Amino acid sequence: MEETKKKKKFIWRWLLIIFFLLTGVLLIFSDFGTGIVWILIAVILLPQLSEFIMKKWNFVFSTKFQVLAIVILILLSITVFPNINTPTAPTPQKDNTIKLETDQQKLENNLTNDILQSSGSSNFGYKDIQIEKVDSDRPAGTKMITVMVDVKGFYNKSSLLKDTGKLSSKLFQTVFASNMNAYDIIIWYYAKTTDVYGNEKDGIILSYAIDKATFGKINWDNFDQTKLCDFLREEDQRTGNNFNTVCRILVNIQ
């Protein structure tokens, strides 16, 4: 009876040794630390190890001591080694890619700077841009570009016309100098308006328009830009070009 128990114990021990050894070998390729721990457990279970320790150091490597050592190693494999083997998350790399601006983005940036740097008693802000195909009587591939500007404040009608004249002259030059292939340029100035019923709305108060042909005739260095509105209205009457080059005051400005 005692002999049968010893045989069963011997068989179970070697089954456990083989289990821990094979599992450790498999784990060592994916989780090195845990794999080593499982192989150590298999070594601890070897009867030859107990005999060697007893003879070498006269120490009884009992079953209880073996179980305690195995439990400690298993706890280490669960708590310590996974943290060691977990790969550190890569540090996000700064995107140093240079993002190229489109021709429209370059134009909008230049227009925004022109408006911010505009001088005079009036206060302006960039609003939007609109790009459309021209009519069939224009050169193929050219565009009609509308620039929208917010009027945030002005002193009076006279000062507003002077300031918008200078700003419109600058904006015309900026758009024609861009790669947008413009032929007609319109500038709309928006401001808060009040109707006869006292209702406020954001509407267009001034409109400047010029075509490429007229633009090319003007010597902008010697031209009085503060009187651009008067010039464009006179040019429209003189040439009869159907409002392609014109300045219109669309509300009653005080």
CB of 157 closer than 8 Å to CB of 163: no
Structure tokens belonging to residue 95: 């995107």
* CB within 8 Å of 82: residues ≥ 6 apart: 31, 33, 34
Per-residue pLDDT at 86: 47
Counting as low any pLDDT under 70, the low residues of the chain are: 1-10, 12-13, 16, 20, 24, 27, 38, 44-99, 241-243, 254
Round to whole Å and give the CA distance between 68 and 127.
Answer: 77
What does the domain layout of the chain look like in residue ranges? 2-85, 103-249
What is the pTM (predicted TM-score) of this model? 0.61
Q: Which fold has domain 103-249?
A: Diaminopimelate Epimerase; Chain A, domain 1 (3.10.310)
**Residue partners of 206: CB distance under 8 A and separation at least 6:** 151, 160, 161, 164, 187, 188, 189, 229, 247, 248, 249, 250, 253
Q: Which two tokens stand for residue 53?
A: 């320790």
Q: What pLDDT score was predicted for residue 84?
A: 46
> Which pLDDT score is estimated for 54?
60
Measure the CA–CA gap between 114 and 27, rounded to whole angstroms.
Answer: 67
Strand pairing report for 143-153 and 182-194:
parallel
Whole-number pLDDT of residue 127: 94
Instruction: Note the pLDDT of residue 121.
Output: 87
